Amino acid sequence: MRAVPFVRGLLLALVVLLLSGCGYNQIQGKDEAVKAGWSEVLNQYKRRADLIPNLVATVKGYAGHEQQVLTAVTEARAKVSQITVNADDAASLAQYQAAQGELAQALGRLMMVTEAYPNLKADQQFLALQTQLEGTENRITVARGRYIQLVQDYNTYIRKFPVNLTAMLFGYKAKPNFTVENEAQIQQAPSVDFSAPPVAPAAAPSVAPAPGGVVNPPQPASPPVQGGNAPQAAETQ
């Protein structure tokens, strides 16, 4: 009977030794890093969402008749706020990413509308919101790129031997990640620069009138038909 506590202690020491040598502690650290990275992504997305009501109100003061564009931005923002995202679930993360993409597109269309309103582009409140939006888009890009790297590092680590055995034993699985059609996009924030004036369409080239005020200039005579009666040249007086 006395051997039972000894065996238990021995097994416990063996488990601790195995865990320390099989990456258990490293898994914990990398998992926490991924969670912190995701929190920063959410924080920056929320920062952008918080800017939208003031931005819409400012644009509406100058371009109230652009109701379709204003409504699209408001609805896209509401859709994002209603999603409860689970970063460990691939379907939930994909749904959240799609909603954020729709919001970004609606916001881009709203910004394009402002090009037609010089007074709006000179408004001090709009300029301040523009600066904040540019900074937020950059922060979103940085936070999302860092999160992608953290998830890749975590997923790569738990697939290595013998860490994969430890991960399997304690139920640590690979985490889903952001998906992009072009991976270079995660390094480049959407452009929201409105300083450049819109390019005017090129004017159509004008056609000079025919000399002498002739509207329809004479056309060259058709060549004589073989076997036909060719017109005779006029005699010189």
Can you say how many angstroms the Cα of residue 182 is from the centroid of all Cα atoms in its chain? Answer: 10
Please list the rounded mean pLDDT of every run of 10 residues in the chain (237 residues). Answer: 58 57 87 97 96 93 89 94 94 94 93 90 91 93 96 95 89 89 44 42 43 46 46 44
Task: Say what the pLDDT of residue 44 is.
Answer: 96
The mean pLDDT value of the chain amounts to: 78
CA distance 204 to 117: 26
- In this predicted model, what pLDDT tens digit does every residue of 70-103 receive, in sequence order? 999 999 999 999 999 999 999 999 999 999 999 9
Q: How many CB atoms lie within 10 A of CB 39?
A: 12
Task: Say what the pLDDT of residue 187 is.
Answer: 41
CA distance 174 to 157: 10
**Strand boundaries in the chain, DSSP class E:** none
Q: Give the angle 43-49-53 at the CA atoms, nearest 5°.
A: 145
CA distance 22 to 168: 12
Can you say how many angstroms the Cα of residue 143 is from the centroid of all Cα atoms in its chain? Answer: 13
Q: What does residue 100 show for φ and ψ, rounded to 5 degrees?
A: -65, -35
Q: What does residue 104 show for φ and ψ, rounded to 5 degrees?
A: -65, -40
